Amino acid sequence: MARASAKPEFRLRFAEIADTSELVSLINVAFIPEQVAIDGDRIDAERLQGYLKTGKVLLLDQEQGLAGCVYAEVRGGRGYIGLLAVRPELRGRGLGRKLMSSAEEYLADAGCQAVDLRTISARHDLVPMYKHLGYRETGTAVMPPEIPLKIPCHFIVMSKRIQKYEL
């Protein structure tokens, strides 16, 4: 008798408007650690739909629902990545790395030579993770005044060169 695979099957796809509710829930749960510095939820349906108009949200889907997501936007010759989120119970399985590499591949295919991202300074755990993925710190940026901060913090800007690989 064949043994069932212990590893769940994940399908990579682009988000659609119909994914809004599940995506908002996934992102807000994944971004709870930010609440040490930022008050309230990370995103709502209206804001997410704005992202769907300006870029692509890549999803990792499985039978039980969305496992993770990442936002990718082409900005001329550079790309921007944000909203990396993995369901908390699935962290540590390489899904974030898979989402990041898929977003980088999408941006490289769109003609981007580099990609940028931002993380908040209060999330000390994220900079080493992004450095491990090849990003380097390139600067800082102020937090927009509309973001309700609990403590002073700023964005850490990180960048990475990317290229399209041809076989």
**pLDDT value for 164:** 75
- What are 121-145's pLDDT values in tens digits? 999 999 999 999 999 999 999 999 8
Q: Specify the DSSP element, H or E, that contains 52.
A: helix 45-54
Max intra-chain CA distance, the chain: 61
Instruction: Please compute the mean of the pLDDT values over residues 87-103 and round it to a whole number.
Output: 94
Q: How confident is the model at residue 8 (pLDDT cuts 50, 70, 90)?
A: low
Q: How confident is the model at residue 2 (pLDDT cuts 50, 70, 90)?
A: very low
Instruction: Please compute the mean of the pLDDT values over residues 11-31 and round it to a whole number.
Output: 95
Instruction: Please compute the mean of the pLDDT values over residues 13-19 and round it to a whole number.
Output: 95
Q: How confident is the model at residue 167 (pLDDT cuts 50, 70, 90)?
A: low
Q: Counting every residue, how long is the chain? A: 167
Percent of the chain with pLDDT over 70: 93
Q: Print the SS3 string covering 101-159.
A: HHHHHHHHHCCCCEEEEEEECCCCCHHHHHHHCCCEEEEEECCCCCCCECCCCCEEEEE
| pTM of the shown model | 0.90
Instruction: Please compute the mean of the pLDDT values over residues 134-158 and round it to a whole number.
Output: 94
Q: Is the pLDDT of residue 3 over 80?
A: no
Cα Rg, the chain, nearest whole Å: 16
Q: Is the pLDDT of residue 64 over 90?
A: no
Q: How confident is the model at residue 1 (pLDDT cuts 50, 70, 90)?
A: very low
Domain ranges of the chain: 11-161
CATH number of 11-161: 3.40.630.30
